[in-house]
Amino acid sequence: MPANLLEASPYGVPMAEKTPLLLEGLQALSKHHQHHCLAYQRLLGSEAGLYKQLSELPFLTVPLFKQRQLKSISEGDVFKVLTSSGTTGTVPSRIYLDAETAKLQSRVLVKIMQEWLGKQRLPMLIWDSPNVIQNRTSFSARGAGIQGLSFLGRYHTYALNDDMSLNIPAIEAFFERFGSEPVFMFGFTFMVWKFGLQALKDQGFRFNFQNAVLIHSGGWKKLEDEAVSANTFNTTAKAMLGQLRVHNFYGMVEQVGSIFVACEEGHLHCPSYADVLVREPGSWQVQAHGQAGVLQVLSLLPRSYPGHSLLTEDRGRILGEDNCACGRKGKYFEVLGRMAKVEARGCSDTFDGSGSTTGAAE
């Protein structure tokens, strides 16, 4: 059994070893945040209990990060503030990171993604515009995602101009230099689809990369409205960009660093440092594997703010644990969509073509 899950391999710890270590770490985080975050203490009580199983851990709902200032550090220790992008007129979530938490989240994010990309830093084509990361102290969800994954790449090239039009000269130069080598592409789902793949198709461009990995993330709401399935997305990506592996991942700015990447079977996987539960709306009882409900995400990473146990606004179901055909350990699950009467939110939904943001981090 690993002494510290944060040092373990991302998908190598079976349930029997992972669960007690995860519970111990999450109990310590609950106690830490109750002692250092007055708002959290008022929400949950002054003393952390002794929880016998993961389902007993208290959780916050994601909208609370829009309604309250939730941080377990002093103002002077704030290193960076991450913001989600709410729909017009809504207040975004604000996530406060100190240097230690930012470093931990970055380290774990790299560790997870190296499972899918390898340890060598690859030439990186980013399906977004460079202005999304101009402010390096206060990041939107898109900016935070791009900056976090940029550590895994080199020769960073933005495929889009600031007006979201294709930067064809940049893409062509990138292809001419690296088209036959392993490359890493990243973008938010709707951005890749509308401003990347569809724009390439409309303008008659196609690139035959020989060995690319496309990682994408964000809400599928707009794509579902356009009847675009995951299979259609993947097939179109390969038709327009050549030989590439496509991996979606699920995550949110409120728990950045803990990401759930889809394997070759199309299943989202919990890494060793995080877990997921499914709760029945109304009773909030934990559902058995295979039953649909609201996703609760657990993570050992949030230390500067109480984001270690969150009830999301997404529906999903757990498909299994430690027995995925891909061979990776841990729970694997699927996201079934947003809860009813919940605003659309997803990193990839944050650009509506007019320059305004229209979604939040998923």
Beta bridge partners of 249: 217, 261
Residue 175 within a domain? yes
Q: What is the tens place of the pLDDT at every residue in 109-134?
A: 889 999 999 999 999 999 999 887 76
pLDDT score at 13: 96
Residue 251 in this model has a pLDDT that exceeds 80: yes
Q: Give the pLDDT of residue 217.
A: 87
Q: Which band of pLDDT confidence, cut at 50, 70 and 90, is reported for residue 223?
A: low
Q: What mean pLDDT, rounded, does the chain reach?
A: 86
Decide if 189 contacts 346 (C-beta within 8 A): yes
| pLDDT one-digit tens code per residue, 28-39 | 999 999 999 999
Contact 346, 219 (CB under 8 A): yes
- Count Cβ atoms within 10 A of the Cβ of residue 167 and give its class: 0-12 exposed, 13-18 middle, 19 or more buried: middle
Q: pLDDT at residue 208 above 50?
A: yes
Percent of the chain with pLDDT over 90: 66
Region 221-232 average pLDDT: 69
The predicted structure's pLDDT at residue 86? 52
Question: Does residue 356 lie within any of the structural domains?
Answer: no
**What is the pLDDT, as a whole number, of residue 150?**
84
CA distance linking residue 347 with residue 89, whole number of Å: 17
In a domain, 361, yes or no: no
Residue 103 CB neighbour total at 10 angstroms: 12
- Indicate whether 242 belongs to any domain: yes
Domain that holds residue 20: 5-349
With a cut of 80, say whether residue 61 has pLDDT above it.
Answer: yes
Q: 198, exposed or middle or buried, with CB in 10 Å at 0-12, 13-18, 19+?
A: middle
DSSP 50: -
* Residue labelled with tokens 């003393």: 47
Per-residue pLDDT at 157 exceeds 60: yes
Residue 67 lies in a domain: yes
For the chain, how many structural domains are there in total?
1
State the number of CA atoms in the 13 A half-sphere of 328 facing the CB: 24
CATH of the domain at 9: 3.40.50.12780
Least confident of 90-94, 185-189, 214-218, 303-307: 90-94
Q: What is the pTM of this model?
A: 0.86
Report pLDDT for 134: 67
Domain annotation covers residue 357:
no
Q: Which amino acid is at 185?
A: M
Average pLDDT over residues 310-330: 96
Higher pLDDT, 218 or 269: 269
Share of the chain above pLDDT 70, in %: 85
Give the 3-state secondary structure of residue 106.
Answer: helix
* 346 vs 253: CA distance, rounded Å: 10
Backbone phi and psi for residue 274, each to the nearest 5 degrees, phi listed first: -150, 165
Distance CA 210, CA 245 (A): 11
Has residue 354 been placed in a domain?
no
Q: pLDDT band for 145, please (50, 70, 90 cuts).
A: confident
Q: What share of the chain is helix, strand, coil (3-state, %, to 5)?
A: 35, 25, 40
Choice between 203 and 338, residue whose per-residue pLDDT is larger:
203
18 vs 339, higher pLDDT = 18
- Higher pLDDT: 132 or 227? It is 132
Assigned domain for 362 exists: no
- Give the residue with greater pLDDT, 32 vs 344: 32
